Amino acid sequence: MEKYWNHNTAFHEELVENAKVRGGRVLDIGCGDGLLLQRLAPFAQQVIGIDPDTKVIERAQMRFAATSNVSLVNGDFLAMPVPSQEERYSTVICVATLHHMELRSALLKMRQVLAPGGRLLIVGIAADKSIMDFVISGLLVLPIRVMDRLHGGMQDPSVRIADPKESLIEIRQAAHEVLPGAIIRRRFYYRYLISWDKPMVNQ
């Protein structure tokens, strides 16, 4: 099935490289049509994608007709039962989906489903609220247009989209409360990346 490029898939290689180190069970929250799951599958024991959009889950199912270590859940991550200790995830990934959910509830649930010693990786989109936010986004317009051109333009996989509600400052504050020690950085393509390692002592 099709592979494509856009401001979310631009992070796939980095996410796969990161998840590869731990292997094990990987969860992709808001998996859309499953392109990231497809890229993760060769490097993980099992990959699980969850998305409440039935149409994209059906498209993802077509992608995995011949792949045995991929499972798809058509549902809301916030309503997903917390797995048993043994079934918690070594890597939890969430690309362009955090802003579709209530921020603190989603971060808390991500923390719960992650295995001790596991890593949470969130590529997110924040709302521009401060002057600094607008200046940074403004400065990025031209270089991002150049990169879009170099990649032959952005391709839209027809997934649900939503406007971000929280600014990066608000996201940072919530992340520091729920995920102490999280590393949060602005990234190219109007994105930020949160990386958090769950301590080995169970939380």
Ligand X SMILES: C[S@@+](CC[C@H](N)C(=O)[O-])C[C@H]1O[C@@H](n2cnc3c(N)ncnc32)[C@H](O)[C@@H]1O
Considering only 62, 135, 139, 161, the residue that binds ligand X (CB under 6 A) is: 161
Q: Which of 10, 15, 27, 30 binds ligand X (CB under 6 A)?
A: 30
Note the Cα 172 to chain centre separation in Å. Answer: 16
Least distance (Å) between residue 137 CB and ligand X = 18
Where are the alpha helices (H) located in the chain, listed in sequence order?
12-20, 35-40, 54-63, 103-113, 131-150, 168-178
Burial zone of 174 (CB within 10 Å; 0-12 exposed, 13-18 middle, 19+ buried): middle
5 neighbors 28 (Cβ within 8 angstroms): no
Shortest spacing between CB 135 and ligand X, in angstroms: 25
Which residue do the tokens 């400065």 mark?
Answer: 139
CB 169, min distance to ligand X, A: 22
Q: How far is the CB of 105 from ligand X (least distance, A)?
A: 10
Site string (114-153) toward ligand X, x via CB under 6 A: ----------------------------------------
* Residue 101 touching ligand X (CB under 6 A): yes
Binding residue (CB under 6 A) for ligand X from 39, 59, 88, 100: 100
- Please identify which residue in the block is written with the tokens 């499972």: 71
Q: What is the DSSP string of 21-38?
A: TT-SEEEEET-TTSHHHH
Minimum Å gap between C-beta 75 and ligand X is 7
Distance CA 57, CA 53 (A): 6
The radius of gyration of the chain from alpha carbons, rounded to an integer in Å, stands at 16
**Which x/- pattern, by CB under 6 A, does the window 33-62 give for ligand X?**
-----------------xxxx--x------
Residue 159 touching ligand X (CB under 6 A) = yes
- Under the criterion CB under 6 A, does residue 171 sit at the interface with ligand X? no
Helices 168-178, 103-113: crossing angle, 10 deg rounding: 40
164 counts as binding ligand X under rule CB under 6 A: no
Q: For binding to ligand X (CB under 6 A), which residues are involved?
A: 8, 29-30, 32, 50-53, 56, 76-78, 95-97, 100-101, 157, 159-161
